Structure formats: structure tokens, C-alpha cells
Amino acid sequence: MKLARVVAQVVSTQKHPFYKGQKTFMVRHVDLEGREEGSPYVAVDRVQAGVGDLILLLQEGSSSRTMFNEPEAPVRSTIVGIVDHVELEP
Amino acid sequence: MIPGKVIGRLVASQRLDAFKGVKFLLVQPIDERSEAVGKPLVACDAIGANVGDRVFMAQGREATFPLPDKFNPADLTIVAIVDEIS
């Protein structure tokens, strides 16, 4: 999993059946200082995240499908946690 | 999944049988401001997207699920047309 931030909400009506009823966001990876890196992904939200939240991002297809219990869901990125704070031990 | 904007179509009549009935579209990956990031890609279309639509796409193995032939070699498939990014 990766540390990431929610940067926008993504609304779509014409979509694959799996995505009906799912909330989707655009997310960007962040480093441990919270600086955004790379280009954004679209992720399905499972924890009522909001724009601006620091999140735990799962980006693995079979884990996501197991979680949704849908063997043929075209999903890879899923928001699985909202991060309160990160503690680095020196 | 990755966000993008459909910028064109691509016809490849001589191709793998597993792609029977699949339309190819040219997609430019975008960011949350709908600005281009990275290079254009060729995606399979499972939703009926048109040029100009913003979309998001399943990658890798996930890209194969929405297509007719189970054993297709797709690695990028459009799974949604985006109405709004806010």
C-alpha cells in the first residue's frame, strides 16, 4: 500500500457495472513529508474519504477484488484507510 | 485506474482474434486539472466513449475483464466516462 492524498472527486454515470454505487476520487502518491509525487490515479473509496485527506492507498488488483468479493471487477486502486498522522522513529 | 481524455480513434483490422469486436481509442492521460501528463496511450473501449470524453481506465490484468473474449491481451481498457472532476 502507499501513502497518498485525495486531490479531487470523480463523478461518472456511464460506467462499467462494478462502478455503479461506488465513489471514486483522484489521488496522488505523497512522500513522508506529504509532498505529492507523480501523476494521479483514480481510486474507489471504501472509507468515506474526502478531498484533501491523507489516505492509505491499495493498488493491487487481486487484493481489491477480494475485498469487493467480485472476481472480475476491473479495479486496482482502492482507498482502504484515512491516515491520522505518520510517526517516524529516528 | 488512470484518468485520461480520448483524443482519437485507431483502426487495426489485422489483429489478434481475441480482440474481436473491440474498439481502440487514443487516450491522453490527464491530471485533476485535466491537463496532459505523460504520453498518449492506446486503450480498448468497453463503454462507448467518444473523442473528447474524459475517462478512467483499468490497467493490466484488470483491463481484460470488461472485454468480450475472456482471453484477450488487453492491458488498458476504458471503464468509465467522467462527467465531472471537482
Place of cell 498522522: A85
Q: How many domains does chain A have?
A: 1
A22 lies in some domain? yes
Indicate the helix (H) or strand (E) that contains A87. Answer: none
Tens-place pLDDT, residues A19-78: 999 999 999 999 998 899 999 999 999 999 999 999 999 999 999 999 999 999 999 999
Q: How far, in Å, CA of A89 to CA of A16, rounded?
A: 44
Read off the CATH number of the domain in which A63 is found. 2.40.50.220
What number of C-beta contacts closer than 8 Å exist between A and B? Answer: 87
A24 lies in some domain? yes
> What is the least distance, in Å, from the CA of B12 to any CA of chain A?
24
Q: Mean of the per-residue pLDDT values for chain B?
A: 96
Structural domain that includes position A17: 2-82
Contact criterion met (CB below 8 Å) for A29 and A3: yes
A89 lies in some domain? no
Contact criterion met (CB below 8 Å) for A1 and A55: no
Alpha helices of chain A — where are they, by DSSP H?
61-68
Confidence tier at B20 by pLDDT (50, 70, 90): confident
Cα-Cα-Cα-Cα torsion B24, B26, B32, B38, nearest 10 degrees, comes to 130
Which residues does chain A have within 8 Å of residue B65's beta carbon, measured at their own beta carbons?
72-74
Which residues does chain B have within 8 Å of residue A10's beta carbon, measured at their own beta carbons?
3, 56, 82, 84-85
